[in-house]
Amino acid sequence: MENKDIIRLQKKISKLYKNIKVSSKEDCVVLKGELDNWSDIVNIGLMAASTKKFYGVINEIKLKGYKEAPMRISDIKDNEYDGIECDVLIVGGGIIGSAILHEFSKYNVNAILIEKENDLALQASSRNDGCIHVGIDLSNKSKKWYYLNRSLEIYEKLANDLKINYRKDGQTIVFTKNFQRLLLPFLKIKAKENNIKEVHVLNKKELEKLEPNTTPYAKFAVKFGNGAVICPYNMTIALAENAVLNGGKVFLETSLLDINMEGDVIKSVVTNRGTIYPKVLINAAGVFSDKIAKMANDQFFTIHPRKGTNAILDKKAKRYLSNSSIAVLGSSANHKTSHSKGGGVVPTIDYNPLVGPTAHETPFREDFTTDIQAINEVMSKHVSSMPKLSKNDIITYFSGIRAATYEEDFIVQKGKWTKNIVHAAGIQSPGITAAPAIAEDIVKFTQEVLNTKFTKNPKFSYKRGIKNPLRELDNETRNKYILENPDYGQIICRCEEISKGEVIDALNRPIPVNTISGIKRRVRAGMGRCQGSFCEPQVLKIISENKGISLENVKKKGNGKVLVGDIKDGDSNG
Amino acid sequence: MVIVMDKYDVIVIGGGPAGLAASKSACKNNSNVLLIEREAKLGGILKQCIHDGFGVTRFKQKLSGPEYANLEIEQLKKEKITISLLTFVTKIKKLESGFILTLVNREGVKEVFGKNLILATGCRERTSKQVFIQGTNPAGVISAGTAQYYINILGKMPTKKCVILGSGDIGLIMARRITLEGGKVIGVYEAKSTPGGLTRNIVQCLNDFSIPLYLSKTVTRVFGEDRLEAVEVCKVDERMQLIADTKEIIKCDALILSVGLIPENELAESIEVEISKRTKGPKVDQTLMTSVDNVYSCGNALHVNDLADYVSESGEIAGKNAALNKVNNRNLVKVTVDDKIAYVVPSHIDTNKPLKDIVFYFRSKNVLENKVLHICVNDKQIYTKRFNNIRPPEMERVVVNLGECEKIEKIVFKLLEVIK
């Protein structure tokens, strides 16, 4: 970078915005000032990144009148983990952190993952559509594509090894205008460049046969056979659980509060549960990854949170749903930027149709609220690919926050200034897909930082000791399980057919949980059309009995208790 | 090894008031009956309805839900009947001669055969997301039925200070119940301009306890990350559109929803029983047989009732007819309604089945005064009944003899003005 790049950018920005100061920090650009509109702040960051002249964009422009909400942290304050030393400390229990812990558990490395919430995958890793993408929309010069391409080679086997369902339905782009055929040669070249296998052009007849419920205005379609779906949060949990069985450690409700530096070296990490002394810190902190980088004097990028909302429909709506993930060209939820694939209608791994997502910039890093506008937006956009979709079939909806950088690419690298930090930051879509290969490289970079070569963990195994959901078994096998343990024959969740035995198993897995939402995510009790109206009290009772927690102290999620006390007449026997 | 499957004339799915009555009447008509219930005790939702007002028609006395259920259960136990508790039907397979059901319980997985099926599977509550409440997803957003379970069965309070959305009967009853147990109900909010519950419940549950009822107001948003901290309410117009600048934030720790019930018909749909868009229950003829031969529907699975007494009555009709069922050719005539009537059950009449004294249930779409119900067969008026006051929450029941009508081709229900 030369000084004239800074001057040029300053000029460009000054034409549009007043009082924004552009400066440099080595080869990074630093933006400072104060503005009224968040979208302007994001826009300036994107302008800086689009010059491609800088190593990174540090956007410190403040939003007028906005005081950034502090990171949600656990109420716990103790010294449980004080003084612990380890080889690597991973910050963040999303799919990236969990995949990294899992990768480390293949070696003789003392690795610890800290997660601020009381369960894994509570943020972006559970708040997405679960698509394994093929990467047609990505530049093959991007890290996004690089890691996606490598991960696709290993994903299906990894999922199978971990007993996580992986369904290769493919992804279909529907075209509604004949002139769009002109795009086909380019699409084919792009597919070849991006190493995408199984590309099929479907004429109207073939499309109607494969996807009878898509729009009658379809002229033709392109199907990418390699596209797949998984359950993103159960993949995350499986990676972490398997890592724990192989020697990795997971500390929940442990928030990183500060980092103690000594020159350009991290000495220790302060948490709400004591100070931990790692040799290397791995930054997989999602929307907070730039904050962690800053604490470690290694911030060369900035996260601008981008919110997305998805709607989940009743399984019954499957009858008129697609057999693959499907989207109409031009129905993209965000025309302006090509940073989000635009979403579509996805038959999830559990066969609920999922519609979405939206994409809206926001200063709030942990704002998971939903709005009716977003629901209307996803439904009206995707009704173009699936005309029979109906708002009446929606059973739930949720929002997530993408950890986008201004470069709109992943950051997977060793620290720029700090010696013993490795970043896996700025991970947004296709992060679920890219996680396994990212984890491999993080281990590689860690070896470089430590100037060592890790020896293999001879006891490593993919075993997780969990059963398939009983509803998926044949009668004979199911019967055998019930004879061994009658709790497997007592159905407590009617919508998803989940037994009491499965709930008890989920409470006692390698990373134990004791919240209603933790159970819901692991076994699907409460995921169905009644949304827990019937099974929530049953799950609450089972948690209470098995974990020795009183009924009123059982939590739905976080610190949210379901019950507030006894009735007036008191003296209940539960 | 050949496993001999248990065989029954009639299998009843669901041990609530509809299933209990259906089982009993099928037994009384000499059928070999299996009653399947997924919970540990019979009685269905009645078990948690400890308020009174049940049984006025059926038992000529005011009973609580559990008392009503116990009377039914005692009577049923006099019959020779097989009862399978804590048992869940995972699959129904339709054969020429009947149905094979896959059952799961603590003893294992087994299959049973039934010639006739009665679906008495009840209903479920609409959720906050089905009425598109936005915001966070905290603890403290629960359906009125779940709140009722926590208070009446577990003896635990789910709230100290709450807002209730929806003036359906369960919502009203829970407003009183929470108040009696020391909780504070800030108000019952109803999006419609008229209350959703029975008049007696408005009086006895709200007015008697000075709990305010706010009409044309709904909850649009909830606040609070882990536990609910407040709700946003907003006025709505007659077309249920939000009125701008009428938002109000109310601090509370729970939102209790009584926003409608949906008949549970997932098993019915799995064997391709046709479902009515109006009732969300199966289309049935006067014997309560669905569009699938030998499959019957009754109680809240058929359509949402406001009185358990009617639920039992429909069970009785289904049970008796399933027991006496002789397969014959069906000739179904659709019962049509005018624009003032929301629906009529049964939705069809089978002219090849007995036509004497048919029980019809219907609901009006709106609150109406001084109307006359006209029932016309082949455009000829065969029945009239005057209603001074007719309200959607209160289901009406009429018994009509179609036995003397010749060659029925058309049946119409109309609500007309009283001619003075």
Q: What is the CATH number of the domain that holds A478?
A: 1.10.10
Beta carbons of A174 and A218 less than 8 angstroms apart: yes
Q: Do both A214 and A332 map to the same domain?
A: yes
Q: Do both A342 and A366 map to the same domain?
A: yes
Residues of chain B with Cβ-Cβ distance to A311 below 8 Å are none
* Residue A445, pLDDT score: 98
Domains B1-123+261-327 and B328-420 share a fold: no
Please check whether residue A535 lies inside any domain of the structure: yes
Please check whether residue A139 lies inside any domain of the structure: no
Is B106 in contact with A486 (Cβ distance < 8 A)? Answer: yes
Which residues on adjacent β-strands are paired with residue A424?
A412
Q: How far is CA A249 from CA A17, A110, A161, in A?
A: 48, 8, 20
Sign of the dihedral defined by the CA atoms of residues A169, A174, A178, A183, in that order: negative
| Residue range of the domain that includes A510 | 470-561
- Report the residue of chain A nearest B229, measured CA to CA: A560
Q: Do both A535 and A481 map to the same domain?
A: yes
Name the residue among A316, A490, A532 with its Cβ closest to that of B106.
A490
Is A479 in contact with B180 (Cβ distance < 8 A)? Answer: no
Please name the CATH architecture into which domain B127-259 falls.
3-Layer(bba) Sandwich (3.50)
Band (pLDDT 50/70/90 cuts) for residue A340 is very low
Name the residue among A475, A482, A564 with its Cβ closest to that of B160.
A564
Residues of chain B with Cβ-Cβ distance to A479 below 8 Å are 108-109
User: Which amino acid, one-letter code, is at A282?
Assistant: I
Q: Do both A391 and A531 map to the same domain?
A: no
* Residue B2, pLDDT score: 53
Please check whether residue A202 lies inside any domain of the structure: yes
Q: Name the more confident of A529 and A93.
A: A93
> Which tokens in the block code for residue A405?
């950088």
Distance CA(A179)–CA(B320), nearest Å, equals 65
Say yes or no: ipTM exceeds 0.85: yes
Is A562 in contact with B226 (Cβ distance < 8 A)? Answer: no
> Which tokens in the block code for residue A158?
């990894």
Is A368 in contact with B143 (Cβ distance < 8 A)? Answer: no
Distance CA(A522)–CA(A122), nearest Å, equals 12
CA angle A64, A69, A71 (to 5 degrees): 145
Q: Do both A119 and A256 map to the same domain?
A: yes
Please check whether residue A53 lies inside any domain of the structure: yes
- Report the residue of chain A nearest B158, measured CA to CA: A563
DSSP H helix total and E strand total for chain A: 14, 29
Is A483 in contact with B225 (Cβ distance < 8 A)? Answer: no
Question: For A452-468, what is the mean pLDDT?
Answer: 95
pLDDT tens by residue, A542-552: 999 999 999 99
The share of chain A scoring above pLDDT 90, in percent, equals: 88
Is A491 in contact with B88 (Cβ distance < 8 A)? Answer: yes
* Domain boundaries of chain B, sorted by first residue: 1-123+261-327, 127-259, 328-420
Is it the case that residue B1 has pLDDT exceeding 50? no
Residues of chain B with Cβ-Cβ distance to A535 below 8 Å are none
| CATH class of this structure's domain B1-123+261-327 | alpha beta
Name the residue among B38, B137, B227 with its Cβ closest to that of A491.
B38
* Residue A571, pLDDT score: 46
> Which tokens in the block code for residue A286?
């999602």
Q: Do both A209 and A319 map to the same domain?
A: yes
Q: Which of A394, A355, A319 is closest to B266 using CA atoms?
A: A319
A464 HSE (CA, 13 A, CB side): 25
Is it the case that residue A248 has pLDDT exceeding 80? yes
Q: Does A62 touch chain B (CB under 8 A)?
A: no
What's the helix, strand, coil split of chain A in %, to 5? 35, 25, 45
Distance CA(A243)–CA(A443), nearest Å, equals 14
Name the residue among B104, B140, B143 with its Cβ closest to that of A491.
B104
pLDDT tens by residue, A157-213: 999 999 999 999 999 999 999 999 999 999 999 999 999 999 999 999 999 999 888
For residue B164, which phi and psi values (nearest 5 degrees)? -110, 130
Which residues on adjacent β-strands are paired with residue B347?
none
State which H helix or E strand residue A60 sits in. Answer: none
Please return the burial class of B274, using the count of CB atoms within 10 Å of its CB with bins 0-12, 13-18 and 19+.
middle
Terminal Cα-to-Cα distance of chain A (whole angstroms): 69
User: Which amino acid, one-letter code, is at B322?
Assistant: A
Is it the case that residue A573 has pLDDT exceeding 60? no
Average pLDDT score over chain B:
96
Q: Do both A419 and A505 map to the same domain?
A: no
Distance CA(A76)–CA(A72), nearest Å, equals 12
Q: How far is CA A496 from CA A121, A503, B153, in A?
A: 21, 12, 24
Please check whether residue A73 lies inside any domain of the structure: no
Q: Does A550 touch chain B (CB under 8 A)?
A: no
The share of chain A scoring above pLDDT 70, in percent, equals: 96
Question: For B342-356, what is the mean pLDDT?
Answer: 97
Phi/psi zone of residue A147: left (φ > 0), alpha (ψ -120 to 50 degrees), beta? alpha
Pairing of strands A303-313, A394-405: antiparallel
Please check whether residue A363 lies inside any domain of the structure: yes
Q: Do both A289 and A351 map to the same domain?
A: no
Q: Does A482 touch chain B (CB under 8 A)?
A: yes
What is the nearest CA distance from B225 to chain A, expressed in angstroms? 8
* Residue A388, pLDDT score: 85
Q: Do both A246 and A220 map to the same domain?
A: no
* Residue A338, pLDDT score: 38
What is the nearest CA distance from B168 to chain A, expressed in angstroms? 17
Is A537 in contact with B139 (Cβ distance < 8 A)? Answer: no
Q: Does A398 touch chain B (CB under 8 A)?
A: yes
Is B158 in contact with A479 (Cβ distance < 8 A)? Answer: no
Distance CA(B43)–CA(B55), nearest Å, equals 14
CATH number for the domain spanning A267: value is: 3.50.50.60
Q: Which residue, among A521, A534, A566, would best test binding to B if mutated, counting the most B CBs under 10 Å from its CB? A: A534
Q: How far is CA A144 from CA A129, A466, B389, in A?
A: 17, 32, 67
For residue A230, which phi and psi values (nearest 5 degrees)? -140, 175
Please check whether residue A538 lies inside any domain of the structure: yes
Q: How many domains is chain A partitioned into structurally?
A: 4
* Residue A570, pLDDT score: 47
Residues of chain A with Cβ-Cβ distance to B227 below 8 Å are 559-561
Q: How far is CA A28 from CA A6, A54, B320, in A?
A: 10, 5, 82
Of A368, A384, A405, which marks where a domain is finished? A405
**Residues 6+ away with beta carbon under 8 Å from B246:** B234, B235
Residues of chain A with Cβ-Cβ distance to B253 below 8 Å are 564
pLDDT tens by residue, B45-79: 999 999 999 999 999 999 999 999 999 999 999 99
Q: Does A553 touch chain B (CB under 8 A)?
A: no
Residues of chain B with Cβ-Cβ distance to A494 below 8 Å are 38, 88
- Report the residue of chain A nearest B111, measured CA to CA: A475
457-476 in A: which are within 8 Å (CB) of B?
A: 471, 475-476
Please check whether residue A8 lies inside any domain of the structure: yes
* Residue A334, pLDDT score: 34
Is B137 in contact with A567 (Cβ distance < 8 A)? Answer: no
Question: For B387-397, what is the mean pLDDT?
Answer: 94
pLDDT tens by residue, B256-292: 999 999 999 999 999 999 999 999 999 999 999 999 9
Is A482 in contact with B109 (Cβ distance < 8 A)? Answer: yes
Band (pLDDT 50/70/90 cuts) for residue A337 is very low
Pairing of strands A421-425, A491-493: unpaired
Distance CA(B118)–CA(B116), nearest Å, equals 7
What CATH number has the domain spanning B328-420?
2.60.40
* Residue A339, pLDDT score: 39
Whose tokens are 């009449």? That residue is: B349
Q: Which of A511, A302, A501 is closest to A411 using CA atoms?
A: A302
Distance CA(B253)–CA(B158), nearest Å, equals 9
Q: Do both A319 and A393 map to the same domain?
A: yes
* Residue B3, pLDDT score: 64
Beta carbons of B85 and B102 less than 8 angstroms apart: no
Q: Do both A276 and A353 map to the same domain?
A: no
What is the nearest CA distance from B158 to chain A, expressed in angstroms? 4
Q: Do both A199 and A308 map to the same domain?
A: yes
Q: Which residue, among A564, A566, A572, would best test binding to B if mutated, counting the most B CBs under 10 Å from its CB? A: A564
Residues of chain A with Cβ-Cβ distance to B111 below 8 Å are 475
Beta carbons of B384 and B374 less than 8 angstroms apart: yes
Distance CA(A252)–CA(A240), nearest Å, equals 12
* Residue A327, pLDDT score: 82
Residues of chain B with Cβ-Cβ distance to A550 below 8 Å are none
Name the residue among B137, B143, B154 with its Cβ closest to that of A572.
B154
Distance CA(A16)–CA(A79), nearest Å, equals 51
Residues of chain A with Cβ-Cβ distance to B150 below 8 Å are 537, 562-563
- Report the residue of chain A nearest B160, measured CA to CA: A564
What is the nearest CA distance from B137 to chain A, expressed in angstroms? 8
